[in-house]
């Protein structure tokens, strides 16, 4: 048996837009209606069914749960905050706390209020002050109940899909827009970090734990040559390390939240900055098992990344790690494989404090709709019934014993 530390956070993660349903004031909702590719609709109906879902998580021995707040519900019009929605989220958090689960709360998980995107979204420098005003409203109300905050989920995934690939709203393809938006997201985190700490201090509460959820990838050179190795080093720095590095330099991070899923095989086909940072292997050299979206399953990448983040000497929480698959046996193999690597990293001195599987339930996977199945628990989208998968039962045993 491999034992994990005492007080380890064991649980799963979700985000509001992907599970709640009916987020009609969010930019994604309007974008869906406009392009007709996907329709989140009622999603998993968690807005009504949250207590039932948390009961399920509790029955599966989770002692922590990551969720997000939908900014567009809380501030449906610029400057007009909804006390009713705040009350809803207080009930949601209480439903976790009363079941003995530690809430890990995300403030921004890809979606924006429509009014914000209409005013230029994250390209507009004013987004930073809007975000802070929203943070002040919710954090002041929830401070007594929440110890772990994630300000921004996966800033670079958001920027890449929304401003480089142009497949998510606002569907831009502009490096300049991407750079502007990224700068504002990072500034928003740093200022929100200070604000959250100040609010806790003013309220006489213990210091909170504030971070971002940083998506990281294992970059692996396809061939043993200079170009592929250089591409790997550049991507590692540019994608994995740069932002965390900046936050540590600003003393604006209390723990490192990592979302890890897969690896990218780096095969640089030509000299050129775009080639160095974008080219991948198209020939499926070094094949591995894959999830249903074709992402390689590569648990050792998690270990390598954890070792690389060890130098910051901060606690790490795996804020997401998961697989979409129709083969639940493969889901368990994925979870087990990643937990083994996590355990090895702990043995080598990395201070890992928790693991949150993505996701508690099948849910709305953005531009891919409802087809990818990431859930420990299956959702029937006709009846909204939740059915635990075998992997949920096996993971429940890990959460109970703290060991694999
Ligand atoms: O569903 C997403 C989530 O919103 C952010 N991290 C990756 C997950 C799987 O793609």
- The ranges assigned to domains in the chain are 9-401
- Report the distance separating Cα 82 and Cα 280, nearest Å: 46
DSSP state of 85: H
Structure tokens at 11: 């649980």
Q: What percent of the chain has pLDDT over 70?
A: 100
Does residue 320 have an active-site annotation? yes
Length of the chain equals 404
- What integer pLDDT is reported at residue 282 of this predicted model? 78
Separation of 213 CA from ligand 1 center, angstroms? 11
Separation of 211 CA from ligand 1 center, angstroms? 17
Q: What percent of the chain has pLDDT over 90?
A: 99
SS3 content of the chain, % helix, strand, coil (to 5): 45, 20, 35
- What integer pLDDT is reported at residue 206 of this predicted model? 98
Among the listed residues 320, 333, 378, 397, the single catalytic one is 320
Separation of 209 CA from ligand 1 center, angstroms? 22
- What integer pLDDT is reported at residue 287 of this predicted model? 87
CA-nearest residue for atom 1, ligand 1, is 365
- What integer pLDDT is reported at residue 342 of this predicted model? 98
Whether residue 124 contacts residue 133, with contact meaning beta carbons closer than 8 Å, is answered with: no
- Which residues of the chain fall short of a pLDDT of 70? none
* Protein residues with CB under 6 Å of any ligand 1 atom: 15, 18, 154, 259, 320, 358, 365
DSSP state of 403: B
Check residue 339 and give left, alpha or beta (phi > 0: left; psi -120 to 50: alpha): alpha
Backbone angles phi, psi at 51, to 5 degrees: -65, -40
- Report the distance separating Cα 230 and Cα 207, nearest Å: 41
Q: How far is CA 153 from CA 14, 25, 66, 248, in A?
A: 11, 19, 11, 17
In sequence order, which residues have a C-beta less than 8 Å from that of residue 281 and are 6 or more positions away? 222, 265, 266, 267
- Classify strands 9-13 and 352-358 as parallel, antiparallel or unpaired: parallel
In sequence order, which residues have a C-beta less than 8 Å from that of residue 176 and are 6 or more positions away? none
Residue with tokens 């061939």: 223
- Report the distance separating Cα 209 and Cα 315, nearest Å: 10
- Report the distance separating Cα 73 and Cα 252, nearest Å: 27
CATH number of 9-401: 3.20.20.80
DSSP state of 361: B
Atom of ligand 1 nearest to the CA of 324: 9
pLDDT digit string, tens, across residues 112-159: 999 999 999 999 999 999 999 999 999 999 999 999 999 999 999 999
CA-nearest residue for atom 9, ligand 1, is 365
- What integer pLDDT is reported at residue 283 of this predicted model? 78
- Report the distance separating Cα 141 and Cα 51, nearest Å: 20
Structure tokens at 379: 């959702």
Check residue 392 and give left, alpha or beta (phi > 0: left; psi -120 to 50: alpha): alpha
Q: Which of 142, 152, 148, 239 is nearest to 189 (CA)?
A: 152
- Report the distance separating Cα 124 and Cα 121, nearest Å: 6
- What integer pLDDT is reported at residue 284 of this predicted model? 74
């Amino acid at each position: 048996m491999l034992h994990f530390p005492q007080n380890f956070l064991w649980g799963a993660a979700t985000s509001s837009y992907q599970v709640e349903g009916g987020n009609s004031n969010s930019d994604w909702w309007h974008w869906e209606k406009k392009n007709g590719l996907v329709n989140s609709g009622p999603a998993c109906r968690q807005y009504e069914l949250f207590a039932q879902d948390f009961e399920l998580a509790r029955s599966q021995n989770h002692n922590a749960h990551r969720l997000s707040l939908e900014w567009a519900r809380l501030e449906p019009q610029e400057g007009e905050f909804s006390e009713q929605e705040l009350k809803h989220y207080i009930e949601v958090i209480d439903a976790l706390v009363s079941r003995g689960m530690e809430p890990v709360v995300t403030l921004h998980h890809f979606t924006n209020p429509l009014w914000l995107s209409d005013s230029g979204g994250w390209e507009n420098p004013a987004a930073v002050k809007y975000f802070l005003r929203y943070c002040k409203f919710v954090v002041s109300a929830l401070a007594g109940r929440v110890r772990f905050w994630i300000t921004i989920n996966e800033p670079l995934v958001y920027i890449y899909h929304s401003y480089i690939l142009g497949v998510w709203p606002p569907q831009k393809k502009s490096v300049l827009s991407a750079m502007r938006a990224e700068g504002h997201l990072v500034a928003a985190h740093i200022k929100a970090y200070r604000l959250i700490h100040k609010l806790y201090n003013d309220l006489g509460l213990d210091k909170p734990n504030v971070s971002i959820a940083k998506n990281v990838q294992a970059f692996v050179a396809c061939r043993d040559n200079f170009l592929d190795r250089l591409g790997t080093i550049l991507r590692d720095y540019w994608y994995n390390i740069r932002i965390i590095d900046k936050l540590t330099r600003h003393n604006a991070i209390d723990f490192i939240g990592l979302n890890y899923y897969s690896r990218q095989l780096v095969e640089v086909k030509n000299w050129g900055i775009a080639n160095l940072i974008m080219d991948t292997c198209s020939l499926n050299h070094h094949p591995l098992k894959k999830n249903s979206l074709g992402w390689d399953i590569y648990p050792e990448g998690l270990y390598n990344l954890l070792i690389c983040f060890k130098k910051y000497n901060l606690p790490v929480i795996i804020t997401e790690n998961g697989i979409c698959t129709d083969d639940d046996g493969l889901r368990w193999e994925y979870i087990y494989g990643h937990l083994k690597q996590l355990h090895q990293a702990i043995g080598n001195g990395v201070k890992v404090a928790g693991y949150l599987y993505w996701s508690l339930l099948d849910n709305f996977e953005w531009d891919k709709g409802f087809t990818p199945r990431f859930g420990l628990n299956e959702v029937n989208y006709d009846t909204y019934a939740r059915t635990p998968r075998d992997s949920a039962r096996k993971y429940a045993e890990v959460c109970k014993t703290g060991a694999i």
